[in-house]
Structures are given as C-alpha cells and as structure tokens.
Amino acid sequence: MITTVPKRGTEDRAAERRARGVALARAARRGDTLAMSDLLDHLIPYVTTICGPIALDARQDAVQETLVVVFRALRGLDEPEALYGWVRAIAVREAVRIARRAVRDVPTEWADPPAPGDPQLAADIDDVLARLSPEHRAVLVLRDVEGLDEQTAADLLGVPEGTVKSRLHRARAGFRRMWTA
C-alpha cells in the first residue's frame, strides 16, 4: 500500500516562518549576534513586501533603513511575539520617509492600460503608484495588501482613523482615475 504525505498548506509555512522570526528575535535580544544576523536576513522579504509599494524605486533604501532601525531598537521590543507588527510599523514609517525624500519621475504621457496578463502590467501599476503621495501609498499597502483595518492602520501611521479613511478614499479614487486616464 502506498501512502502519500499531504502537502502542508501555506498557513503552516507562514506560521513556521513567524515562529522562527520570534525565536530569532528572542535570541538576538539576549545578545546572540548570529541570531541577529539571521533575524535581519529572515525579515528582508517581509520588509521588502511592505516597503516596495510605498517607496517604489527607493525600496532598497527603505528596506535598509528599516533593518537598521530594527537592529538598533530590538532590545527595546518588550514582546517578541509582536515582532511582525512592530517591524511593519517601522517599515511603513521608513518607507514613507524615504519616499518623501526620493525624487519621483512621473511619466509625461500615459498609454492605454494593458490587458490582464500583459507583462507591462506590473510596471504600469508602479507608474500609477508613483503618482500617489507616500501617505496614500502607505494607506493602500496597509489596507489592500496587508489587510489591516482602519484603526490598526491609523495606529501604525500615527494619525486619526478618520484621516486613514479619507486618505484611503482619495488614494483609491486617484488610482482609479490615473489608471483609466
């Protein structure tokens, strides 16, 4: 009789990655320099996912600045279980700061939107995102990519919930307008 091993779901792998990150954070807080190095390497994909849509072409700078802050402030993290929320807050703040500082090149002319599946689609989405302010990109990432509610996004951005709602409304409307223009 042949038995098959069921494939593990993405939830299991994500839970394992989070548990590994928390374990590395605990060890790094105790002064384990190898754990700190492994933790920073472990966080790069997560931080890149957050910083990329906000900082756009300056994403690498935003990722680097986020990791520097994490490195310097990790001992102040009271609850290692809160690692990912803490890192998310740092990443959003640094990405917005870097995006404000970055010089953005806005295309002078906008072509027709590509058909679904067109390889140009991702580049066109980046072009539209580049036209939004860093604050609007941050709200879009927190709500539409990270799936956070308005109150959590407001707490991360340090603004009232109503500000998040209005920024989200403006960001979505601006994205739609620029996408269909």
Tell me the range of 61-70, 95-104, 169-178 where mean pLDDT is highest.
61-70
What is the pLDDT averaged over residues 140-151? 87
Residue type present at position 42: H
Q: Which CATH number fits domain 11-103: 3.40.30.10, 3.20.20.140, 1.10.1740.10, 3.50.50.60?
A: 1.10.1740.10
User: Which pLDDT score is estimated for 147?
Assistant: 87
User: Which pLDDT score is estimated for 91?
Assistant: 95
- The pLDDT confidence band at residue 172, using thresholds 50, 70 and 90, is confident
Per-residue pLDDT tens for 39-78? 999 999 999 999 998 998 899 999 999 999 999 999 989 8
What is the pLDDT averaged over residues 128-140? 87
- State yes or no: pLDDT of 127 exceeds 50: yes
- State yes or no: pLDDT of 103 exceeds 70: no
CATH for the stretch 106-181:
1.10.10.10
Higher pLDDT, 177 or 181: 177
Per-residue pLDDT tens for 27-37? 999 999 999 99
Mean pLDDT, the chain, rounded, equals 84
Where exactly are the structural domains of the chain? Answer: 11-103, 106-181
User: Which pLDDT score is estimated for 101?
Assistant: 82
- The pLDDT confidence band at residue 107, using thresholds 50, 70 and 90, is very low
DSSP the chain: ----PPPPPHHHHHHHHHHHHHHHHHHHHTT-HHHHHHHHHHHHHHHHHHHHHHHGGGHHHHHHHHHHHHHHHGGG-S-GGGHHHHHHHHHHHHHHHHHHHSPP---SS-PPPPPTT-TTHHHHHHHHHHHS-HHHHHHHIIIIIS---HHHHHHHHTS-HHHHHHHHHHHHHHHHHHHH-
